[in-house]
Amino acid sequence: MNLVYLVPLFPLVGFLLNGLLRNQLSKSAVGIIGSGSILASFIVSLVLFFEVKSGHNTVATLFQFINIEQFKIPFSFQVDQLSSIFLLVITGVGFLIHLYSTAYMHEEKSEHFARYFAYLNLFVFSMLLLVMGGNFVIMFIGWEGVGLCSYLLIGFWFKNNDYNNAAKKAFIMNRIGDLGFLLAVFWLLLKLGTVSYGEVFANVNKLSATDITIITLLLFVGATGKSAQIPLYTWLPDAMAGPTPVSALIHAATMVTAGIYMIARSNVLYTMAPVTQHVIAIIGLATAIFAATIALKQNDIKKVLAYSTVSQLGYMFLGLGVGAYTGAVFHVMTHAFFKALLFLGAGSVIHAMHHEQDIRNMGGLKKKLPITHITFLLACLAIAGIPPFSGFFSKDEILMGAFAHNPVLYYIGMAGALMTAFYMFRLYAMTFLGKFRGTHEQEHHLHESPAAMTIPLVILAVLSVTAGFIGIPEVFAHGAHRLEHFLEPIFAASNNIVGEHAHIDHTTEIVMMGISTAVIALIIFFAISKFSKYQKTEKEETGLGKLLENKWYVDELYNTIIVKPLMALAKFLNNIFERYIVDGIVNGVGKAVQYGGRQLRLVQSGQVGGYILLMVLSILVFFAIQLFLKK
């Protein structure tokens, strides 16, 4: 059997076993099946990665998924440089999150514990399908699968209506974006008669400029939903309703990276659509800045991280928009490490604080949670962009790409990076430094998390510190950007279309790095100084602070201009249109038929004379028709 098939097969088997035998299996067995299946996929992914590295890309077809005269769509998997990187991230980080979950979710009842792991396995399976698909249709199946699993996992504690509403919000907003994706697939089929990557990219010259622009814009609409970009980003912060490991999985290794993967995979199309690239760069940059401003004033530890994810995804889209595809993929990878670490660290804090999530009620956890503290600090340094942590290399590559494209994009992007450093170290200082501000009961029970939770934190911390070294920029060492060389075949066609990229001279690049690092270090120092002495106050925010604390009132705006009018329309259609028009027509037809039947029944009087009279009249009518009308 081809090894490729094993990668998604293991999580699928894990889902079936845990789902079907949830009432029979012990928690230990569920944890071993759930985590072991992802570990097995990771090992196979590692083997495939080294095969790809040695030059053996694979396209494996299982069967013909759609086979009609006009076109054929195979159920095929494609493993190359791009998908192999994503496979390692999904299964590697996914396994650590599964392992962490065995301890974090241990208080759940056995059947709910098994249900949780079944959903988690299905989520990973869907994401693997999305990444491994050899054409846009298989990608779309995985695309829908992660949407369904996010709904199931966000609403895992389904007895809470607020959580159910958050799950529904995520589901509906993703469906809006999915419509764009689906229309793009139909457009490709209509114009090229195929959706297989190889055939589409080889025949891209047969598409007109208008076709390419429309297709790429429609695909991007899908990406804005899955990867939470303006205007479809509001579901992601609300997705915090699910268990914290789920947040880590959604934000780091699976769903939100789908849009980045799809555009990177379709890079040839996007490089030939400059209008779409401008749109992507502007939307990405706007999202990065907008979400960062909101994160400045959030007090829920998970909400800060959620808006941080939205912001970081914006940077990835900025990279895609300016043609820095490698930088975007690089940031997906490093972000997966430090964002998973941040969420799992937050989970460790919440676990120790007995489900308290408000950082105003924390403080002074540094000594009580030493492993969580040091790993969380390393993740904060990585996302803030302090060298030589991983986030510095990947974010810098995107910003340099933006500078080469247009310096204005760089300066705006840097403003977002400075805000990132501020809100992350505000979060760190209010959580781990200063004096404890919780209750005496919480303080008495503070403790470090068990090994099943701290081991993933340590592994992710090591990766957050070291992963950046696979992308050392040219300015530091010639030819040391190993990720760029590895991904070169994926982006070769785009590079040929663009030709020579604009370059920044090394002196300018070093000066820019030095200034930005110094400013970020100053902001970190300021944030720690200010918030390590934080004291709770009853004073409410006013002005801009209140605006940011309430997330620019975007949810309220959407409720006013979209949700409420739609609800009013639905109410009108239900109470008026359906009741008096649809039901009126249907019931009216029924009543008319009943009335007609009753009248016709009178004809059958049982009197022979009446029947003869009717017969004679009928004959006369018949002759009249023959003589006068058909003359």
Element containing residue 491 per DSSP (H, E): helix 482-498
SS (H, E, C) 172-193: HHHHHHHHHHHHHHHHHHHHHC
The predicted structure's pLDDT at residue 416: 95
For residues 189 and 195, give the distance between their C-alpha atoms in angstroms, rounded to a whole number. Answer: 6
Q: How many CB atoms lie within 10 A of CB 467?
A: 24
The predicted structure's pLDDT at residue 603: 78
What one-character DSSP code corresponds to residue 300? B
For residues 98 and 102, give the distance between their C-alpha atoms in angstroms, rounded to a whole number. Answer: 7
SS (H, E, C) 192-214: HCCCEHHHHHHCHHHCCHHHHHH
Closest CA to 269 of 336, 165, 197, 328: 197
Cβ atoms 90, 146 nearer than 8 A: no
Q: Does a cis peptide bond (omega within 30 degrees of 0) precede residue 387?
A: no
Q: How many CB atoms lie within 10 A of CB 615?
A: 10
DSSP string, 224-284: HHHTT-TTS-THHHHGGGS-HHHHHIIIIISGGGHHHHHHHHTHHHHHT-HHHHHHHHHHH
For residues 497 and 500, give the distance between their C-alpha atoms in angstroms, rounded to a whole number. Answer: 9
Determine the angle formed by the axes of helices 370-384 and 451-466, rounding to 10 degrees: 30
Cβ atoms 227, 259 nearer than 8 A: yes
Closest CA to 476 of 436, 433, 447, 514: 514
What does pTM read for this prediction? 0.91
Torsion of CA 18, 19, 25, 30, to 10 degrees: 30
How deeply is 387 buried, as exposed, middle or buried, from its count of CB atoms within 10 A (0-12, 13-18, 19+)?
middle
Cβ atoms 427, 358 nearer than 8 A: no
Closest CA to 355 of 302, 283, 415, 427: 302
Cβ atoms 350, 437 nearer than 8 A: no
Cβ atoms 194, 188 nearer than 8 A: yes
Q: Phi, psi at residue 386, to the nearest 5°?
A: -90, 125
Which residues touch 546 (CB under 8 Å, ≥6 apart)?
540
Query: Which residues of the chain fall short of a pLDDT of 70?
Result: 1, 500-502, 630-631
SS (H, E, C) 129-186: HHHHECEHHHHHHHHHHHHHHHHHHHCCCCCCHHHHHHHHHHHHHHHHHHHHHHHHHH
Cβ atoms 238, 185 nearer than 8 A: no
Element containing residue 514 per DSSP (H, E): helix 506-531
The predicted structure's pLDDT at residue 503: 74
How deeply is 32 buried, as exposed, middle or buried, from its count of CB atoms within 10 A (0-12, 13-18, 19+)?
middle
The predicted structure's pLDDT at residue 319: 96
The predicted structure's pLDDT at residue 2: 80
Residues in the chain: 631
Closest CA to 152 of 173, 140, 131, 166: 166
The predicted structure's pLDDT at residue 630: 62
Closest CA to 403 of 316, 508, 330: 508
Q: 402 by DSSP, 3-state: which?
A: helix
The label of the residue with tokens 């979060």 reads 427
Determine the angle formed by the axes of helices 301-321 and 325-352, rounding to 10 degrees: 180
Cβ atoms 177, 222 nearer than 8 A: yes
Q: What percent of the chain has pLDDT over 70?
A: 99
Can you list the alpha helix ranges (DSSP code H) found in 581-629?
583-603, 608-624
The predicted structure's pLDDT at residue 540: 81
The predicted structure's pLDDT at residue 631: 56
As beta bridge partners, residue 64 has 74
